[in-house]
Amino acid sequence: MFGQLEHELELHVPASEAWDLFGTLQIGKLVEKEMPQKFQKVELTEGDGGVGTILKLTFTPGVPGPASCKEKFTKIDNEKRIKESEVVEGGYLELGFTLFRIRFQVIEKGEDSSIIKSTIEYQVKEEDAANASLVSLQSVANIAQVAKNYLNRNKAAKEAK
């Protein structure tokens, strides 16, 4: 069974500025710092931020589901501002999923605005199809909001100078 969920959030910064955050390892550091209720630790286990990079996400105790997962960056397109990662160990794979992919795309909207489009694509074994109901946009929506707040704070700080 295949499924896909999408979320969009408008950012009040240029696409290039948003991509400087989402297209790098900086987003993982921000998530670890700003979302302690969900992520206990975001560790770089392999790579330098390019395709093939692996991050280990350790979830905060008490968060439902597996304690951790590893995500591998499978696509980074700096021109189209698209970054994809797939769970390669733990997480949803422990629940019968054969694919769990997260895509962040930064879309230029105007000179000082952009959209962060978050997409989750998943494939789950038929016998575990009921687990598809566990897939939620909440985490990617929260990440987008945390990023928006961070980018707005940086913009305000620059404008105040």
Residues involved in catalysis: 83
Query: What span, in angstroms and rounded, lies between the C-alpha atoms of 154 and 113?
Result: 14
* Half-sphere exposure (Cβ direction) of 137: Cα atoms closer than 13 Å: 15
Place of tokens 């997962």: 69
- Nearest CA to 47 out of 64, 30, 28, 67 is that of 28
Is 95 strand, coil or helix? helix
